[in-house]
Amino acid sequence: MPTLVSAEKVLKHFPIGGGILTSKPTGWVRAVDGVSLSVEKGRTLGLVGESGSGKSTTGLLLLGLLKPSGGRIFFEGEPLEELLRRDPRRFRRRAQIVFQNPFASLNPRMTVKDIVGRGMKLHGLVESDRELDERVAALLSEVGLKEEHLNRYPHEFSGGQRQRIAIARALALNPEFIVLDEPTSALDVSVQAQILNLLKGLQRLRELSYLFISHNLAVVRHMSHEVAVMYLGKVMESAPKDSLFSDPLHPYTQALLKSIPKISFPPEDIEKKVIEGDIPSPVNPPSGCPFNPRCRRAVDICRAEMPDFREVMPGHWVACHLV
């Protein structure tokens, strides 16, 4: 499978503090700390992690909406930096994003037509206002909305419908790659199913490549072909979906999978499946493997050295000293 987007040891550190008089920052948030991953053409890479794992930041880096502090990102083999310098607008057409919160991701002062059509207008993809109307109406019907919604404002829609508008907006420029940043986390389960099915259908139809970011492992399992697990700015494990869910190798992945409350009978004993301790702050991450303070199997080397991210089976990568 050819690769569409890839990241090599990408870093993003945000400065803390530093004003007009004190130009030196007082510290760094290591939001993304050496992430390598790749999204294949027409496929979905699921990116899971808890808060502070840096998964959303990674998404913005791949879109060029944030500048990496280090490492390299490639888009169809070309360095992203180069693409953005040569023709930033052209790149914008190729990569788009759908956000988590449908109540904050649509401009409340714009009509649906403006929201969805703005990109096409901006990039000169339509000749006339009538053509714009037609194109937007076609996009709306593709995401399951009606033409009569064209001149309404976002507040007139439910959360699920807004997310459909956001998807239409992302599709308007006919991109190859879409970052889906927790696209269903704010939705009810019955609506979530509709949106997930829609996204899968669109992927088949338009041969889209997705980076699907979520904290919900069940949703990631349903949506992804490959999965990467992040913790405190680092990828701990990445593998084809089946291999990751049936044979997780990293202690963090294993514990995470166990600690999800499942529908089962007899009910599982949640008390036996707990990962102890709090998630450390990315401002001051633990030395060595970031998971070591919570890892039951941690040994001395885990506290001293960050393990390499190694391919232990074909396509199955792990960063753990003990594997």
Closest separation between CB of residue 4 and other proteins, Å? 17
Nearer Cβ to other proteins (2/146): 146
Nearer Cβ to other proteins (205/263): 263
Nearer Cβ to other proteins (36/69): 69
* Token pair for 289: 């493997």
Closest separation between CB of residue 207 and other proteins, Å? 19
Residues 108-167 that bind other proteins (CB under 8 A): 108-110, 118-119, 122-123, 153, 155-156, 158-160, 166
- Number of residues binding to other proteins, judged by CB under 8 A: 79
Candidate residues 93, 149, 250, 316; the one interacting with other proteins per rule CB under 8 A = 93
Question: Is 122:190 a contact under the CB 8 Å cutoff?
Answer: no
Residues 11-70 that bind other proteins (CB under 8 A): 19-20, 50-51, 60, 63, 65
What's the CA gap between 45 and 36, in Å, rounded? 12
Closest separation between CB of residue 2 and other proteins, Å? 24
What's the CA gap between 232 and 289, in Å, rounded? 10
296 binds other proteins (CB under 8 A): no
Nearer Cβ to other proteins (115/319): 115
Closest separation between CB of residue 237 and other proteins, Å? 15
Q: What are phi and psi of 67, to 5 degrees?
A: -90, 125
Residues 100-119 that bind other proteins (CB under 8 A): 100-101, 104-110, 118-119
173 binds other proteins (CB under 8 A): yes
278 binds other proteins (CB under 8 A): yes
CA-to-CA separations, 70 to 56, 172, 216, in angstroms, rounded: 17, 31, 29
Closest separation between CB of residue 168 and other proteins, Å? 12
User: By rule CB under 8 A, what string of x and - marks binding of each residue 208-247 to other proteins?
Assistant: -------xxxxx-xxx---------------------x--
Nearer Cβ to other proteins (104/138): 104
Nearer Cβ to other proteins (150/191): 191
Residues 174-203 that bind other proteins (CB under 8 A): 188-194, 196-197, 200
Residues 244-273 that bind other proteins (CB under 8 A): 245, 255-257, 259-268, 270-271, 273
What's the CA gap between 126 and 64, in Å, rounded? 25
Question: Is 61:10 a contact under the CB 8 Å cutoff?
Answer: yes
Q: What are phi and psi of 167, to 5 degrees?
A: -70, -40
Nearer Cβ to other proteins (38/111): 111
| Nearest C-alpha neighbor of 212 from the set 175, 253, 184, 171 | 184
